Structures are given as C-alpha cells and as structure tokens.
C-alpha cells in the first residue's frame, strides 16, 4: 500500500480499501502504515459486519485534522463520524460507495 502513496502538497497520502475483520485490526493496520509512512495521511476503509468502517490517521507534523477528514470521506458514501486531530473513525453509508469516497481523499487533503 505504501508504494501506491500519492504526494499531495508535500504529504504522502495512502487511501485504500482493506479486508479487516474488526475495527481493532483496521486501527492496527493504520498504525503500522502511519509508522512506515514517516510523514503524511492514512485513510483506510473496510466492510466490517456488513457495514462500512473508515479510519483516518495523520502524523503529528501535518496540518490535517483526522476527525474532520474521516467525516468528509464517509459523507461521500452517506456515513458519518469524527475523532481527534490525530485519528478519526467513521461508519455507515453505502458500501458500494467506499471506492469513490477513498478516491476523494487526495482532493480533501489538498483542499
């Protein structure tokens, strides 16, 4: 996934749909990616128990608020959420829209 990272305004951005069995596994994967990324933004999405789950994490040097970012990403698919400046979680909405929601991440980071 790190090899697919895009650079937006000097930040590495990873946005990916993954297969996670639960939110803890989604968060563990996010932690691993964020640590390896060095500086940037990680947004992951997975269908957990039949419902979309989103996770956004940012490194401390960014000026991106992860809670705000994940809320905007999930809203593309009709979901909602929030969180703290460094980590945000969201859920709900249409699982078929997760890909489109993730495609918007670079625009939202650059915006």
Question: What is the per-residue pLDDT for 46?
Answer: 98
Contact 95, 52 (CB under 8 A): yes
Question: Consecutive sets of 10 residues in the chain, 111 residues long: mean pLDDT of each?
Answer: 90 96 98 93 97 97 96 96 97 94 96 78
* Global confidence as pTM: 0.96
The whole-number pLDDT of residue 107 equals 96
33: three-class secondary structure by DSSP: helix
Q: What is the DSSP letter of 48?
A: E
How many whole angstroms separate alpha carbon 38 and alpha carbon 25?
A: 20
The structural domains of the chain, with segments of one domain joined by +, span 2-110
Q: Is the dihedral of CA 64, 86, 75, 17 positive or negative?
A: positive
**Predicted pLDDT of residue 3:** 85
- CATH class, domain 2-110, is alpha beta
pLDDT number for residue 2: 86
């Amino acid at each position: 996934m790190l090899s697919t990272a895009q650079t937006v305004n000097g930040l590495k951005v990873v946005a990916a749909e993954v297969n996670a069995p639960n939110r803890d596994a989604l968060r563990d994967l996010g932690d691993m990616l964020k640590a390896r990324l060095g500086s940037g933004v990680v947004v992951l999405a997975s269908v957990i128990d039949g419902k979309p789950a989103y996770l956004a994490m940012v490194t401390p040097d960014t000026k991106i608020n992860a809670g705000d970012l994940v809320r905007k990403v999930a809203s593309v698919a009709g979901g909602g959420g929030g969180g703290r400046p460094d980590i945000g979680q969201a859920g709900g909405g249409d699982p078929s829209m997760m890909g489109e929601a993730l495609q918007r991440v670079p625009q939202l980071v650059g915006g």
